[in-house]
Each structure stands twice: as C-alpha cells, then as structure tokens.
Chains A and B, each alone.
Chain A
Amino acid sequence: MLYREAGQFKTNYVADRAIFPLREDRIGLGLIVLVAYSLAFLGNDFLLQAVLIPFLVFSLAAIGLNILTGYTGLLSLGTGAFMGVGAYACYKLMTAFPEVNVIVWIFVSGFFSAGIGALFGLPSLRIKGFYLAVATLAAQFFLQWCFIRIPWLVNYNVSGALEAPLRTLFGIPIVGATATPQTRYLVVLTIVIVLTWLASNLVHGRIGRMWIAIRDMDLAAELMGIRPLQTKLLAFAVSSYYCGVAGALLVFLWYGGAEYDVFNINQSFFILFMVIIGGLGSLIGSFFGAALIFIMPIVLGIVLPAIFEPLGIPIAAETIEHLRFMIVGALIIFFLIVEPHGLARLWQIGKQKLLVWPFPY
C-alpha cells in the first residue's frame, strides 16, 4: 500500500544504481537517523548508557567482521584482539598527544588495528576456511598476551588497566567520567553513521565486488584479474580498522576504563555470533545481529520480572540470567532454522512481501 515501487521511474543510470532506489526506503532511513538522534534527548541514562551505546559499538564491530567474513568469506576469530589494538593504540595516542582532539585519535587508532590485521591476514592467501580461523586465533592469543605483558601499552599503570582521561570536544567532555551519556551517545552515533555510510559505499563499489568475487570463487576471481593477496589483505585491513575503532569506542565512550580481559576470545565469539545471526554479507544484518545478541537479553531481564512478578512469582537475579541464556539460545536456533541466512534475509523477504501487499502475485 504505502510501500511500493509503482510510479517511481528511474530516468538515468545513477538513479538505477542507487543503494536505496525506493523513495520509501530513503524516507525510512532518514526517519531512523532522526529517531536515533532524538533518542539522545528522549531516552533516559539507562537506555543510552547500557543499551544504545554498546549496541552501536557492537554493531560497528560486527560491520567490521562482516566485511571480512561476510563479504570476503574469510573466517576470523581475532576480532576481540583487533578491537583491543584499537583501544590500546587510542590510549597511547591520546595520552602522548593530549592536545589533539580525541575524535581524531579514535579514527587514527583504527589504522594501527588495520596494520596488525593485515599482518595477521598474510596467511590467508594460503590457508582457507577453518584453518584460517585457527590462524586468526593465534592473533587473538598473541595480542592478548601483548596486552598483559607490555606495560608500555598502559603507560606503566600499576593496575594494568586502560583509564579514560578527560577529553573534550568544543569544551564539552566526551571522554572521561564527567561526560554525560547523552554526549557520549551522540558522538558514538555520529561515528557509527559515518563509518556505516563509508562501509556501504565500499561494499557496493569496485572494492566490494572484488571481495565478493573472492568469496564466491577465488580461482575465478583471480582469472578475471583480481589479485587475491591484495584484495584479501585489504579486507583484513578494512575489517580490522572497523574493529579497532569499535574497540576504542568500547573502552573510552562506553566503559570509561577496562582491563585486557575485555578483549578476550569470548568477545571474538560474541561478535562472530552477531554476524552469523544478523546475516553474512549484510550491513543492516550487523545491526540486527547486535540487537538480537546484545539488546534482547537486557529486554528479557526487564520484561521477565514484569511478567512474572504480578503473578506472585518472584524471580531471582540468577534465574533471570538462566532464563536469558535459555531463551536467547532457543531464539538463535529458531531464527537459524527459519532463515539460515540470518535476520537480514528475513528483513529482505519482509520488504519484498510488503512491496506487493495486499495483492501478492
């Protein structure tokens, strides 16, 4: 009815190639962005600090891994470590050059992560699939070892932890304890929107097609003139860049201080699950995955007592935790059975159905 293609004519190739060819999609996207920004002023601290900021951070990391695993078909278990590289690089840079704005350093720290990522991506030319996953696992363990063992990385802090010093933007604190969730959220949201837009352009352009070609059949891609080494390394670099920025955001705009343990193997799996559930090779899927894996347990934690307590059944904190595990696990299985290609595919099907609704053919 409202959502349909009829009547929207494309008169040139640019319009036809647009990422969002439908007017409704563009309006919808605009609305989402608008709602996202207005939530900064409508949402309470809990919504911003404990739900939306981490959701955006994990979405960004999931986009990073999706570029590597979803678009280029290279399985990686080093996401947590690459996030860590970004966080530690950002910490070193912002303490060594406090006069430069922290936003600059957040973006720059991604390049360190990209370099390390490309380095550990080198074996990807020779090894594939699960074997590559094991090679990236080495990155995870090696880098984690570095985070513990090199005190220089934390400026010889006795606690061995990353601490967020006070940093401002236009005189308003954005990093450090005095930064309000509102300003943090706005900064994270803007960074995530900018990087998502960039990623969208990357994956829809020449580079993205090269990645997809490599993913679908690397031999054929090579015969067509795509150089596998450069392409794969580029995928590793770009992916790690995103993860690195996400790591810096995680520590400085969400936690405000963290131990090395935040970047352990579980973090890598956490992001990998988001990508798989959300949908491999889809940017919006990264957001869906992050929402399902991260936000749903929180919502359950609020909804379950609200359902049971009026019935006179008190629910203890740990019971909620057990229920969360069970329900999230069951839902993951459910979604994967219903749609093995992830939530993004469900979303696409839904949109297609909506296009012809109420007169399907």
Chain B
Amino acid sequence: MSFRKLSLGLAVATLVGGATLPAFAQDSVYVPLFTYRTGPFAGSGIPIADGMHDYLQMLNERDGGIGGVKLVLEECETGYDTKKGVECYEAVKGKNPVIVNPWSTGITLPLIPRASVDKIPILSMAYGLSASARGDIFPWVFNPPATYWDGLSMIVKYIGEKEGGLEKLKGKKIGFLHLDAAFGKEPVPLLQELAKQYGFEVALYPVAAQDMQNQSSQWLSVRRDRPDYMIMWGWGAMNGAAVKEAVRSGYPMDKFYSVWWPGEDDARAGGAGAKGFKMLNWHAVGTDYPALKDIQKHVVDKGLSKAPKDKVGELLYNRGVYNSLLIAEGIAQAQTVTGKKVVTGEDVRRGMENIKLDPARLKELGLEGFTDPMALTCTDHNSHSPAFMQEWDGSKWVKISEPIKPMTEQVRAQLDAAAKDYADKNPGWPKRSERCDNQS
C-alpha cells in the first residue's frame, strides 16, 4: 500500500528532518527572519532581507551578539506568500524564537491571534493591522514607528503647509492611487474624513493586484480628472509602474507623493522625469553612520553579506537595518528588564514595551541622526512617530522637510474604533493579563 508507505515515509522524513535541525546551544538567542528573496516582490524583499540580516550579523561579529549572547539567525523564505509564511511560522515555532517579523500583511493577520497563545511577539514594522498599535488590546503585536493613518495625515499636512495652511486645501482635488487590497484601502476612510473637514475633494484610483504593472487606465483617469495632488499607497511592482506612468502621462512629479514603501529602483523606473517625486520616510539613507560603517567592515567586507556593496545603505536596505535595530533593542531591553542573558519570547515582549530610542541611546548604538527618537510603552505599541518627506533628485533621495507630526486627534479616533471593532468581533479576545514594566 504505497499510500500507507507514503504517509509513513512522510512521518519518518519529518522526524528525521526534525532531528537534523541544528540544536541550538543554551547560550544563544534564536531570531528567525522571514524574508522573500524569490517571487514577484523579491525586488523589494532582497534589500530588506539583506539589511535585516547584516545588522544582526554585525552585532554577532562586532560584539559577540547582544549582552554577550550570540544571536542565531535563520532565514525562512516566504516568497511573500501567506501559505509559505504560515509554514515558516510553524517551522520556527518549535525552536523558541524570541520574535517574528512576517514582512507581509497577509502573513501577519493569521499570526496575530496566535501570538498570545504561542507566546511569540510579532514585529510588523509599519504594516500589518494598524489597530495593533493599541498595546492594551494587542499586547503581543508591535507595529512601530507609525501606522498608515499617521502616514496619510502627515502627507496631507505637508501638502497643506505647501499650500499655506490646511484651510487652503478647500476646493482642491487630491487623487489617491492605491493597491486595491486591505493595505491600500485602509487610509481611505481617514482621507475622506479629512476631505470633509478641510473641504477638499478626493478621487480614488484603485489598482487591482493583478494589474499592478499596467496602470494605464488609472492614469488616463488621472489625466482627465487633473487632481492637484496625487498620493500613492502601493507596494512591489506597483510603485515603479506608477512612477513610470506618471512620467509618461506628464503628471507634475513634484505633486506626486507616496507612503514609505517605494525604493530607489522604483523611482529610477521613471528615468530623468521622475525628479521631484516625494515620499515619506523615517530613517536615513546612506552609510554615514558608525553602525552602518561597522556593517561594511564586519559583514560586507568579510563576505558574510549577500548584498552587493553598492546596495548597502540604500533605502530599503536601511529599512531592514531599522527593523533589526528594533529586534536588537527589544532583546537588549528584555535583558535589562529581566536580568537574564538568554531571553525568551515572553521576555522580549516586555523588552519591546521598554524600547526607548532617545538621541543618547541612538548615539550609543552608532546611529545618531539615523532616525528620529521614538519610544514604545505598554499601551502604545506604535509610538506614532513623525516621518519626514524626501524627494528624488534623479539619482538619490534627498531629505526635504523636518519631521512631520501626524494629526494625532483624527488618527486616534480611527485607531480606537478599529481596535474596539477587532475585539468586539472576536468574542473571547483575551483581556490583557501580561505584566507591564513601563507604566506611562
């Protein structure tokens, strides 16, 4: 009976496979990195994966880990696919990971309810479920440094300032080009509310996931409607295609804004015409920081990195570095809070709530000026940090504004409604019982 043999063989294979997995020494901390170096989103995924890996590897090489404890890094390839992501989660779960970072909203959603059961914190950095910013309802989920609502309010605020005040937006038309998925639609209610408040008009241009590379119909509508400003909420191939189409249809690039996901390659897609394209960002590009220099010295030059040398310091690479900075801080704070060296997922959850990246700490980490100070608390798992606007000058990103604070009041309302909604629709959602080391 070969079916029987098959299932038997399968069971044996799994057991054998399970046995051959490296047994981790007691004096190390296991950090799985969910990455996607394959598939349709690999263009964005590779630099992020390199950045995440290289920073933590640098800590291993330079300091021997965190607090003297080596980090065991393992990448799991998700291909940005929910199926494989969930498989990755199950594969790493047994090895006591201290934190997981799914790097896909689709993978984050199924993991959120499991986090509290499996005692593994989730770091979904500025993606995932915005409502999970509420630490009192989602003690195991962290999504710093800003939600999409924060991002949208910053862009609107910036546009308003350019016009000479938010009230000057009255009568203007703002186009919103977004991926037609939960991610892209999330800011829409807030945008409509702001439109009502400030009297501007909103035109929505949804892009279906399968048409990401072909946006000619949307840009035809843009040309017809002539919005005064365009805001883009895209990911993967959509960003590059949008920049290209905007250039082709002659849309003034200096009025084209995006949330924080396009990379250099996306802007380059537009050629020389893409000059003036603006996007939000919360961390620096380039390698003029001691920590990044250390990455070059200890990791890249030693051939331990997969990143090509000239890609180190690019936008999405540094995004990966920032992600790992949060992981490392979470572990370091967990060590401080618990006094243990080898921390667990539960400890890191407490550590994450104690993250405080003030200028002094950033300097200590060799990242002075890399990003704006931020801090997480038990109730605020997001920090709603300000981001700045940067502009594409044809070859690189140039910071063009001071940090812009989000419109806290409007965002807060959205957030509370969404968090309450989530808890209401999931009867039996556990009340927070996790301890808090940071009452404030």
Contacts and interface: CB of A to CB of B under 8 A. Distances in A.
Interface of A: 28, 31-32, 35-36, 39, 42-47, 49-51, 54, 95, 98, 145, 148, 155-161, 163-166, 176-178, 254-262, 264-265, 284, 287-288, 291, 295, 298-299, 302-303, 305-306, 309, 316-318, 320-322, 325, 347, 350
A322 B38 CA distance: 8
Contacts of A287: 3
A300 B18 CA distance: 13
Contacts of A160: 181-182, 185-186
B425 A163 contact: yes
Given A158-B186, A318-B37, A256 B113 contact: yes
B110 A165 contact: no
Interface in B1-53: 1-4, 6-8, 10-11, 13-14, 16-18, 20, 35, 37-38
B182 A165 contact: no
Contacts of B210: 264-265
A165 B425 contact: yes
Given A161-B109, A161-B182, A46 B117 contact: no
Please name the 9 residue pairs, one residue from A and one from B, whose CB atoms are nearest each other, closest first.
Answer: A302-B17, A177-B113, A160-B182, A50-B90, A318-B37, A317-B75, A317-B77, A166-B428, A28-B1
20 contacts: A28-B3, A28-B4, A39-B7, A43-B11, A44-B14, A45-B93, A46-B14, A148-B181, A158-B130, A158-B131, A158-B422, A159-B182, A163-B113, A177-B114, A256-B110, A256-B113, A257-B113, A262-B82, A321-B37, A321-B38
Q: Does more than half of chain B's interface fall in helix, strand or loop, or is it mixed?
A: helix
B75 A46 contact: no
B339 interface: no
A42 B189 CA distance: 49
Given A28-B1, A261-B82, A261-B181, A256 B428 contact: no
Interface residues of B, number: 62
Nearest to A156: B421
B209 A316 contact: no
B365 to A, nearest CB: 27
Given A158-B186, A302-B17, A306-B20, A177 B3 contact: no
A161 B113 CA distance: 13
B164 interface: no
B408 to A, nearest CB: 18
B238 interface: no
A193 to B, nearest CB: 14
Contact of A163 (B90, B185, B418, B422): B422
Contacts of B77: 317-318, 320-321
B419 to A, nearest CB: 9
A260 B181 contact: yes
A305 to B, nearest CB: 8
B276 to A, nearest CB: 32
Nearest to B1: A28
A325 B189 CA distance: 41
Contacts of B252: none
A178 B422 CA distance: 17
A178 B4 contact: no
A260 B281 CA distance: 29
B91 A50 contact: yes
B427 interface: yes
A257 B107 CA distance: 9
B306 interface: yes
A174 B189 CA distance: 35
Interface string B240-279: 0000000000000000000000000000000000000000
Contacts of A178: 117
B2 A347 contact: yes
Contacts of A318: 35, 37-38, 75, 77
A157 B421 contact: yes
B106 interface: yes
B106 to A, nearest CB: 5
Given A35-B4, A257-B113, 13 more contacts: A31-B1, A35-B7, A35-B8, A39-B7, A43-B14, A45-B94, A46-B14, A158-B189, A163-B425, A166-B427, A260-B182, A303-B13, A306-B16
Given A159-B182, A261-B181, A165 B427 contact: yes
Contacts of B11: 39, 42-43, 47
B94 A54 contact: no
B320 interface: no
A322 B36 CA distance: 12
A48 B417 CA distance: 36
A164 B426 CA distance: 7
Interface in B115-168: 116-117, 129-131
Contact of A158 (B38, B105, B421): B421
Contacts of B375: none
Nearest to A262: B82
Contacts of B110: 255-258
Contacts of B38: 318, 321-322, 325
Given A166-B427, A256-B114, A321 B75 contact: no
A50 B87 contact: yes
Nearest to A270: B83
Contact of B3 (A264, A284, A303): A284
Nearest to A27: B1
B180 interface: yes
B425 A47 contact: no
Contacts of B106: 258-259, 261-262
B105 A259 contact: yes
B224 to A, nearest CB: 22
Contacts of B76: 317
B181 A165 contact: no
B83 A291 contact: no
A44 B94 contact: yes
B79 interface: yes
A261 B17 CA distance: 31
B112 interface: yes
B6 to A, nearest CB: 6
A256 B185 CA distance: 22
B357 interface: no
Nearest to B112: A257
Nearest to A343: B2
Given A44-B94, A50-B91, A302 B13 contact: yes
Contacts of A350: 2
Contacts of A155: 425
A227 B208 CA distance: 40
B86 interface: yes
Contacts of B75: 316-318
